[in-house]
Amino acid sequence: MKKRLDLESLREGVLSGSRVLLSQAITLVESALESDQKLAAELVQSLMAHTGKSIRIGITGVPGVGKSTFIEAFGMLLLRQGKKVAVLTIDPSSQLSKGSILGDKTRMERLAADKQAFIRPSPSGTTLGGVSGKTREAMLLCEAAGFDVVLVETVGVGQSETAVKNMVDYFLLLMLAGAGDELQGIKRGIMEMADALVIHKADGENLDEAKKAKANYQNALHLFPASQKDWTPRIALASSMTGSGLEEVWEQVLLYEAKMKGNGFWESNRAAQRLSWLDEQIQFLLGQAFSKDPRVSQSLEEYVEKIRSGALNPGTLAKKLVSLFLSKRSPR
């Protein structure tokens, strides 16, 4: 059995930019073992002073839009500009086996082979929004390892895009030309969240359709209310096959960064995200403590058949269990 490294070895390995030790550190962070969780928390805390210097970009879009292809082409462009690029790809998890497909690394062979790039597939588990429950920690570890740009690829446009938006600086929505809104699953709320829309696969016979789609979306965006950060989402055409439009996408990211840092939104947004993360962690830890409480487990076992049969309202039982959980913690 492979021996796990100690805190100091992992910390120094991450700070030195070792991809192997960075990978081991993320594995530690993703572990469900209590001993690992304690060590992971200490590791992330010890590296906090070395985080926060990267640009965090979330990339979403429905399956088939070409997210992995786009990320590889975009990542290669950034590497040519001297950037170190980390990619956190969130794979769908099987609800039966809880396993992850983990296929993105094989779909980004050129990017994965470059020493200035790091690709980490993680299972989405049961978290909403197509992000892993430990994506934030993984992102901080990548920043501590010296990566300039962290790209977070989500499973697709799902139940809670807010989960992605709440951990990145820039939210990019990939779209296809010639597909109806219903087919793409695009809702107004998702478009309002996006800082940029990229009409992907804008090449060959698709180019004319892509240009029409760009004009249509530009007209639609004018109907949206102005955002508090004074930014109108940009729309670009891009092709990962030809490379066209990729530089424009990056220029828009840099323009956004300069403007948001200039008006103070960049840091205020990150501060709000840290508070949101705190709230999520509190809820997660309370949930863990609740589920592990033996009195709650015993009481749940007694009533579970009544819930299954419909004889008991789940809301009533939930209140009873929470009261039971809190009762032994109340001051005497």
Inter-residue contact 201 to 195 (CB < 8 Å): no
Question: Tokens representing 228?
Answer: 């508090």
Tell me which amino acid residue 80 is: R
Q: What is the CATH number of domain 1-50?
A: 1.20.5.170
How many alpha carbons lie under 13 Å from residue 157 in its C-beta half-sphere?
Answer: 23
Give 289 or 328, the one with higher predicted confidence: 289
Q: What is the pLDDT of residue 232?
A: 87
How many alpha carbons lie under 13 Å from residue 211 in its C-beta half-sphere?
Answer: 5
User: What is the distance between the alpha carbons of residues 11 and 14, in angstroms, rounded to a whole number?
Assistant: 5
Average pLDDT over residues 252-281: 95
User: What is the distance between the alpha carbons of residues 129 and 126, in angstroms, rounded to a whole number?
Assistant: 10
User: What is the distance between the alpha carbons of residues 187 and 254, in angstroms, rounded to a whole number?
Assistant: 26
Which pLDDT band, with edges at 50, 70 and 90, does 56 fall under? very high
Q: What is the CATH number of domain 52-263?
A: 3.40.50.300
Chain segment 269-294, per-residue pLDDT in tens: 999 999 999 998 899 889 989 999 99
Mean pLDDT is lowest, of 5-19, 41-55, 145-159, 227-241, for: 145-159
Which pLDDT band, with edges at 50, 70 and 90, does 252 fall under? very high
Give 100 or 4, the one with higher predicted confidence: 4
- In Å, how far from its chain's centre is CA 8? 27
Which pLDDT band, with edges at 50, 70 and 90, does 309 fall under? very high
Q: Give Cβ neighbours of residue 150 (< 8 Å, ≥ 6 apart).
A: 54, 55, 56, 57, 85, 86, 87, 88, 139, 142, 143
CA dihedral sign of residues 188, 190, 194, 197: negative
Q: What is the pLDDT of residue 182?
A: 40
Which pLDDT band, with edges at 50, 70 and 90, does 268 fall under? very high
Name the phi and psi angles at 292, rounded to 5: -90, -10
Strand partners, 235: 197
- Judged against a pLDDT cut of 60, whether residue 222 lies above it is answered with yes
Share of the chain above pLDDT 70, in %: 83
Inter-residue contact 145 to 14 (CB < 8 Å): yes
- Judged against a pLDDT cut of 70, whether residue 1 lies above it is answered with no
Strand partners, 89: 121, 153
Phi-psi region of 285 (alpha: psi -120 to 50; beta: other; left: phi over 0): alpha
Question: What order do you get walking across the sheet with 234-237 strand by strand?
Answer: 117-123, 85-91, 149-153, 55-60, 170-176, 196-200, 234-237
Chain segment 189-212, per-residue pLDDT in tens: 677 788 999 999 999 999 999 999
Containing 172, the helix (H) or strand (E) segment is strand 170-176
Could you state, in order of their start, the residue ranges of all structural domains in the chain? 1-50, 52-263, 278-327
Give 285 or 248, the one with higher predicted confidence: 248
User: What is the distance between the alpha carbons of residues 167 and 267, in angstroms, rounded to a whole number?
Assistant: 12
Q: What rounded mean pLDDT belongs to the chain?
A: 85
- In Å, how far from its chain's centre is CA 319? 33
Write down the pTM of the prediction: 0.88
- Judged against a pLDDT cut of 90, whether residue 3 lies above it is answered with no
Q: Give Cβ neighbours of residue 33 (< 8 Å, ≥ 6 apart).
A: none
Angle of helix 135-144 relative to helix 34-47, nearest 10 degrees, comes to: 40
User: What is the distance between the alpha carbons of residues 76 and 241, in angstroms, rounded to a whole number?
Assistant: 12
Inter-residue contact 261 to 53 (CB < 8 Å): no
Chain segment 133-188, per-residue pLDDT in tens: 688 999 999 999 999 999 998 865 555 467 778 899 999 999 888 765 544 445 66
Which pLDDT band, with edges at 50, 70 and 90, does 248 fall under? very high
Q: What is the pLDDT of residue 217?
A: 85
